[in-house]
A and B are shown apart, each in its own frame.
Chain A
Amino acid sequence: KNEVEQSPQNLTAQEGEFITINCSYSVGISALHWLQQHPGGGIVSLFMLSSGKKKHGRLIATINIQEKHSSLHITASHPRDSAVYICAVSKGSARQLTFGSGTQLTVLP
């Protein structure tokens, strides 16, 4: 079993819809990261959180440490939000990242 599990693997939404991507992990962590990867592009860090909730524009990330679960929400989705969203956890003394398999999001106009 992977240490970091994401769902769904693929998600198609209509523009304007509220989107939720889920992430569960099975190990002790120092922080959880949400990353965005556009086709052919590099990876951008969206959030790093170790408790509670963070908001940036239309993006909201929450984490429940007791349940080892995090969610990424996108409000009023837009076609430019189409990308792969990756959940990753940092652990160990080096805090290297262990990644989920990613969620391919497609937002249709």
Chain B
Amino acid sequence: GAGVSQSPSNKVTEKGKDVELRCDPISGHTALYWYRQSLGQGLEFLIYFQGNSAPDKSGLPSDRFSAERTGGSVSTLTIQRTQQEDSAVYLCASSFGTNTEAFFGQGTRLTVV
């Protein structure tokens, strides 16, 4: 695609529900990153994919968070049993390699009520 696409752009969910956030990276980009931007915390790294594998999951805040990537393309970030502190903008970025310019999606704004 022309850019990194994320869906939904906004998601309001009730506490305790599961949510899935989707990222469609730029075609041909092998590296994919998930970041989170929350008030008072700034931007933080969540997880990195190289192809379909996730060699670095060090940023996932709890075991309620998981992510997968299929076909070296689309990635899904799943948050189980959402909590209010999960409210944030979740950003996806992709790049051709690990040391090249990163392209960001518009983000998914998640609100847990």
Could you list which residues of chain A lie within 8 angstroms of chain B, going by C-beta atoms?
A: 30-31, 33, 35, 41-45, 48, 86, 88, 90, 92-102
Contact = CB atoms under 8 A, between A and B. Distances in A.
A2 B21 CA distance: 29
Interface of B: 31, 33, 35, 42-45, 48, 50, 55-56, 59, 91, 93, 98-107
Contact of B106 (A33, A41, A99): A41
Contacts of B99: 30-31, 90, 95
A45 B104 contact: yes
A96 B59 contact: yes
A102 B39 CA distance: 12
23 contacts: A31-B99, A33-B101, A42-B91, A42-B106, A43-B104, A45-B102, A45-B103, A45-B104, A93-B98, A94-B48, A94-B50, A95-B31, A95-B98, A96-B33, A96-B45, A97-B35, A97-B45, A97-B93, A98-B45, A99-B42, A99-B44, A100-B42, A101-B42
Contacts of B35: 97
**Which secondary structure characterizes the binding site on chain B?**
strand
A96 B43 contact: no
Nearest to A102: B42
A4 B104 CA distance: 20
A43 B56 contact: no
Given A43-B104, A99-B42, 20 more contacts: A33-B101, A41-B106, A42-B91, A42-B104, A42-B105, A42-B107, A43-B93, A48-B100, A88-B43, A92-B56, A93-B56, A93-B98, A94-B31, A94-B33, A94-B55, A95-B98, A96-B48, A97-B102, A99-B43, A100-B42
